[in-house]
A and B are shown apart, each in its own frame.
Chain A
């Protein structure tokens, strides 16, 4: 491990000593001045720019436009929360209070987020020498126009991500609700942060600071997380939700299903009772869901002979409640008048009453319990055979395994690196410059791929860990020397 560190350090030093592709007019800067703290340099540069009247509060800003060298936006599409500094979509920043580089660096928290998390998480800028080259030129106070353009765009993107993270803060009650979902991994882990309100408070603080960190490094994941949070609060606060609540209560009342009848089923006081209640409910809900579906089938069955007799009223859309009502009425009438339907009028009334009770019980007071809602939702999602959306990285253990055995296995990665090594512009020599250039290319490849699979959930984290390991091993194998990605 020590030898590996030394080799890496040596290569890095060599890389810092000489820019990778020095322009012919510029001699290799030697000896290298002692690198200064990046913040200090940036602040100094911003001050200088201000004195020269080149920038306002947004010190390192550069004019838009310029060559469009980098055109592959598939990994950094702005719609997904990515960032392509050459193709900035200004609409993305509408309504966002934009900060300039100088302003960002003047704030302790912002400066740390910008330097330690935000800049390093970006796909390396396509400027001479990548991010390291850019930092070096700033350290030498000779940034190039492209460097300035990148830093200006980066400041805008940073402001956007900060704004995104500050939109919603979790409350202790939110974390408590999530911690009650006993089978989630979060509920398991949150116990380590301490019990009771103290533990929840600590977990809430961690979660809120993690939102900020994630917005900086994985905006897709953070954006999705915030969207989920917003959709939850929107559902609960909406007038539609309240209206549906009132309708449910009305139906329960009309068929005599009281809150108490169903409430007594739930005993959540002890672990054993909770489990027993859940087992019972799972069974019950499964049965009810079956009945419910059969009832809908009954209403929906499309006997062609009966179907021809249906006359839809204007304005009733298939699938709407009015349409369903019309069909139910017509079927009920047919049941009374047309014995080809094999259902007597009294039987039709009986069926209706039974089904109404079933629905009222199914949708009734029980649905207000989080545990029950979860069961109902899972049943519904299973019935609909819904699959998890896979935007922004793996979202299930199976996806992680699939990727780590396929496209992101050590063998696949090694093959990609070897293919790249066969290209004409691969630096083939063994000089420190060649090694530094090789490392830079391989790291860029890894970063670009990492962006493709970035996500915010636990499985994305797990995959990220595996991805790093496989890349390290593959790069070591392909290059025949230690390299840390």
Chain B
């Protein structure tokens, strides 16, 4: 059972997080937050979890839109190629070349 941070500990957590944000990397920040997450007050945990969820949803929506675009372009190209193939085959059949 982990204990929730008290006011001083939370203050120290924010100080360190601020320092990491200013001088560290995204990986440092993620590792730090992940490590202390179970000890954070519930309201703070919920804010962080929702933030991460919002990012995940945003990334997924963005990716889905990109995939749909790729599919649409690919299908258009494939259909064009199929028509070209049929055209060439007809030409060959009619002995045009």
Which residues of B sit under 8 angstroms from A367, Cβ to Cβ? 67, 71
A251 within 8 A of partner (CB): yes
A133 within 8 A of partner (CB): no
Which residues of B sit under 8 angstroms from A462, Cβ to Cβ? 17, 21, 29, 51
Q: How far is the CA of A186 from the CA of B46 in the complex (A)?
A: 12
B1 within 8 A of partner (CB): no
Residue pair B22, A404 in contact (C-beta under 8 Å): yes
Across the interface, A400 reaches (CB within 8 A) one of B21, B33, B89, namely B21
A90 within 8 A of partner (CB): no
Q: How far is the CA of A356 from the CA of B21 in the complex (A)?
A: 48
Residue pair A244, B72 in contact (C-beta under 8 Å): yes
Residue pair B83, A377 in contact (C-beta under 8 Å): no
A461 within 8 A of partner (CB): yes
A77 within 8 A of partner (CB): no
Nearest residue, chain A, Cβ from B38: A192
Residue pair A461, B48 in contact (C-beta under 8 Å): yes
With contact pairs A181-B56, A188-B34, A404-B21 given, residues A324 and B51 touching in the complex (Cβ less than 8 Å): no
With contact pairs A188-B30, A321-B79, A457-B51 given, residues A377 and B67 touching in the complex (Cβ less than 8 Å): yes
B4 within 8 A of partner (CB): no
Q: How far is the CA of A404 from the CA of B23 in the complex (A)?
A: 11
Across the interface, A207 reaches (CB within 8 A) one of B38, B49, B64, B97, namely B49
Which residues of B sit under 8 angstroms from A8, Cβ to Cβ? none
Residue pair A185, B52 in contact (C-beta under 8 Å): yes
Residue pair A186, B52 in contact (C-beta under 8 Å): yes
Give, as a whole number of angstroms, the nearest-CB distance from B67 to chain A. Answer: 5
Proximity bits, A345-356, B CB within 8 Å = 1, else 0: 100110011011
Which residues of B sit under 8 angstroms from A336, Cβ to Cβ? 88, 91, 96-97
Proximity bits, A364-385, B CB within 8 Å = 1, else 0: 0001000001101110110010
> Which residues of chain A (229-249) have a CB below 8 Å from chain B?
229, 231-232, 235, 241, 244, 247-248
Nearest residue, chain B, Cβ from A244: B71
B6 within 8 A of partner (CB): no
Give, as a whole number of angstroms, the nearest-CB distance from A363 to chain B. Answer: 5
Nearest residue, chain B, Cβ from A254: B82
Q: How far is the CA of A206 from the CA of B43 in the complex (A)?
A: 10
Residue pair B81, A320 in contact (C-beta under 8 Å): no
A173 within 8 A of partner (CB): no
Residue pair B47, A328 in contact (C-beta under 8 Å): no
Nearest residue, chain B, Cβ from A222: B54
Proximity bits, B45-72, A CB within 8 Å = 1, else 0: 1111111111111111111111111111
B75 within 8 A of partner (CB): yes
With contact pairs A184-B55, A397-B29 given, residues A355 and B60 touching in the complex (Cβ less than 8 Å): no
Number of interface residues of B (CB under 8 A): 62
Residue pair B57, A178 in contact (C-beta under 8 Å): yes
Give, as a whole number of angstroms, the nearest-CB distance from B48 to chain A. Answer: 6
A105 within 8 A of partner (CB): no
A458 within 8 A of partner (CB): yes
Q: How far is the CA of A353 from the CA of B70 in the complex (A)?
A: 20
Residue pair B76, A378 in contact (C-beta under 8 Å): no
With contact pairs A206-B50, A377-B67, A380-B69 given, residues A352 and B84 touching in the complex (Cβ less than 8 Å): yes
Q: How far is the CA of A235 from the CA of B34 in the complex (A)?
A: 32
Which residues of A sit under 8 angstroms from B79, Cβ to Cβ? 247, 251, 321, 324-325
Nearest residue, chain B, Cβ from A360: B78
Interface 9-residue window, one of A154-162, A209-217, A427-435:
A209-217
B74 within 8 A of partner (CB): yes
Nearest residue, chain A, Cβ from B22: A404
Across the interface, A187 reaches (CB within 8 A) one of B37, B56, B68, namely B56
Q: How far is the CA of A320 from the CA of B72 in the complex (A)?
A: 10
Residue pair A320, B75 in contact (C-beta under 8 Å): no
Q: How far is the CA of A225 from the CA of B89 in the complex (A)?
A: 51
Most chain-B CB neighbours within 10 Å: which of A193, A381, A397, A458?
A458
Across the interface, A328 reaches (CB within 8 A) one of B29, B64, B66, B81, namely B81
In the assembled complex, 26 residue pairs joining A and B whose CB atoms fall closer than 8 Å, in A order, are A184-B56, A185-B52, A188-B34, A193-B49, A228-B54, A228-B61, A229-B57, A231-B61, A231-B65, A244-B72, A251-B78, A254-B82, A296-B77, A324-B80, A325-B80, A325-B84, A326-B80, A327-B80, A328-B83, A332-B84, A345-B97, A349-B85, A352-B85, A359-B74, A362-B74, A381-B62
A binding-site residues for B, Cβ under 8 Å: 175, 177-178, 181, 184-190, 192-193, 203, 206-207, 209-211, 213-214, 221, 224-225, 228-229, 231-232, 235, 241, 244, 247-248, 251, 254, 292, 295-296, 299, 320-321, 324-329, 331-333, 336-337, 345, 348-349, 352-353, 355-356, 359-360, 362-363, 367, 373-374, 376-378, 380-381, 384, 386, 395, 397, 400-401, 404-405, 456-462, 465-466, 469
